[in-house]
Amino acid sequence: MKFGPDVGQLAKGGSDPVKVVKDFLPLIRHVHLKDWNGGSHWAEYCPLGQGKVDLPAVLDLLEQSQDMKIIMVELDPSAKAPLTPIETARVSKILVRDLFIANLAFTAGIERQRTDTHHAIFSGGAARAASIDRDAQNVGI
């Protein structure tokens, strides 16, 4: 059995998304990366980084998984939203990319004595950060 949690829905429902991801990490292959702030737009969700979900902690856990396949960023539609869909996509892209880059800088700066396995994770993170930019350009973000 595999698991594909929506971290925004977990927060909206009163669960701790970080704890759920940590507890079920071996089963997770797909994640809906969504933020929640209880606001009046987007069914109480919000662009990444503007809500209550500890996204850096969630992404740090997902980086540890050898079996993680897909992270899907999403935001529910909303009438009269303060940002257009393309603007919300750009906000989310920047946050995710910057979190990967910050993680790389942290790793490079204070953990230089890591094993070869961890260096592969470090390299994979750099590739993911570049991939985020490439994928976003392909869809005009």
Q: What is the pLDDT of residues 65-103, one digit of tens each?
A: 888 778 888 888 888 899 988 898 888 888 888 876 665
Q: Give the pTM.
A: 0.73
Two structure tokens written together for 60: 């740090």
pLDDT of residue 113: 36
Q: Is residue 61 in a domain?
A: yes
Q: Tell me whether residue 88 is in a domain.
A: yes
- Residue partners of 99: CB distance under 8 A and separation at least 6: 55, 56, 59
Residue 46 domain-assigned (yes or no): yes
Least confident of 6-10, 72-76, 115-119: 115-119
1 in any annotated domain: no
Q: Take residue 96 and report the two structure tokens written for it.
A: 């995710």
- The answer to whether position 71 is within a domain reads yes
pLDDT band at 40 (very low <50, low <70, confident <90, very high): very high
Domain assignment of residue 94, yes or no:
yes
State how far the Cα of 43 lies from the Cα of 8, in Å rounded to an integer: 11
Mean pLDDT of the region 53-73:
87
Residue 23 or residue 136, greater confidence: 23
Which range of residues forms the domain containing residue 27?
7-138
Contact between 114 and 122 (Cβ < 8 Å)? yes
The answer to whether 11 and 17 are in contact (CB under 8 A) is yes
- CA distances to 23, 126, 135 from 131, rounded to whole Å, are 28, 9, 6
CA distances 64 to 23, 69, 125, 129, Å, are: 13, 12, 11, 16
Number of domains in the chain: 1
Classify residue 2: in a domain, yes or no.
Answer: no
